[in-house]
Copies of this chain bind each other. A is one copy, B any other.
Amino acid sequence: MTRIPVITNILAYNDAVARDVRQAIGPRVLTLNLISSPGAGKTSLIERTAAALAGELRLAVIEGDLATTLDAARVAAHGVPVVQINTDGGCHLEARQIMAALPELPLAELDVLIIENVGNLVCPTEFDLGEDAKVALISLPEGDDKPLKYPGIFLAARAVVLNKMDLAPYLPMDVERLRQGIMTINSDASIIPVSCITGEGLAAWLEWVRRELRAKRARISYTKHAESPTP
């Protein structure tokens, strides 16, 4: 009997589509894949980002949810183009879903595209959506032991946002132990503590976004320069 390598094929197919997504988005739009547990504050961070960057950078959002358009409505209220993907029970977004959403977005006019993944700290990690960087978001009430218990996402993330810093005084957890756990898994990750309620730390988050955008565009310029024929 022939073995059918089904699981391998799912990921290989996704990776191929993710390359197409990356191509379609092009070299000037920074694309972030935002991943966290349910209720850690992905939508709140996007709302804060949209409000803060208005007039400076052009943002669009793809919202992934099992069901409802609650999050998309929250983001759309900030005047940002939003596409909703309902996964109908699916536990993560896949590249083919992003590809299907792209024609709904004014890509040529954008600076930053944020993809809000389904609330799940495990499954989204495996699926490349064509993003430039994965951003993990962890909220303080989840506890300081999460990086060691869910290492995959912290290893894959270029930045880890620690949200709900305003709750720190009321929680039986240690922010320093959380930070150490992240650094044990991934010493290269930028760790950015914020509160989407008080606004604490958001300036550092926005600066990280601006820096990633500049870095992406600098890579293009450098590549173009290096490849251009000497006159």
Residues of chain A from 127 to 167 with CB closer than 8 A to chain B in the complex: 139, 141-143, 145-146, 148-152, 164, 166-167
A66 at the interface (CB under 8 A from B): yes
Contact of A120 among B68, B91, B139 (CB under 8 A): B91
A193 at the interface (CB under 8 A from B): no
Contact B152 A66, beta carbon cutoff 8 Å: yes
Who on chain B is nearest to A121 by CB? Answer: B38
What CA separation (Å) do A142 and B42 show in the bound complex?
11
A89 at the interface (CB under 8 A from B): yes
A54 at the interface (CB under 8 A from B): no
What is the predominant secondary structure among interface residues of chain A facing chain B?
loop
A108 at the interface (CB under 8 A from B): no
What CA separation (Å) do A91 and B118 show in the bound complex?
14
What CA separation (Å) do A112 and B163 show in the bound complex?
36
Chain B residues, Cβ within 8 Å of A120: 91, 120-123
Who on chain B is nearest to A6 by CB? Answer: B6
Number of copies: 2
Who on chain B is nearest to A169 by CB? Answer: B170
Contact A164 B141, beta carbon cutoff 8 Å: yes
- Chain A, interface size category, equals 35 or more
Contact B6 A142, beta carbon cutoff 8 Å: no
Contact of A148 among B67, B141, B148, B171 (CB under 8 A): B67
A65 at the interface (CB under 8 A from B): yes
What CA separation (Å) do A148 and B167 show in the bound complex?
25
Task: Enumerate 26 A-B pairs (CB-CB under 8 Å) in ascending A order.
Answer: A6-B6, A38-B121, A38-B150, A39-B141, A39-B143, A65-B149, A66-B122, A66-B150, A66-B151, A68-B145, A68-B148, A68-B149, A89-B122, A89-B152, A91-B123, A118-B122, A119-B121, A119-B122, A120-B120, A120-B123, A123-B123, A139-B141, A141-B141, A167-B170, A167-B171, A170-B170
Chain A residues with CB under 8 Å of chain B are: 4, 6, 37-40, 65-68, 70-71, 89, 91, 118-123, 139, 141-143, 145-146, 148-152, 164, 166-167, 170-172, 197
Which 9 residue pairs of A and B lie closest in terms of their CB atoms, listed nearest first? A39-B142, A91-B122, A141-B141, A39-B143, A37-B37, A37-B38, A91-B123, A6-B6, A38-B121
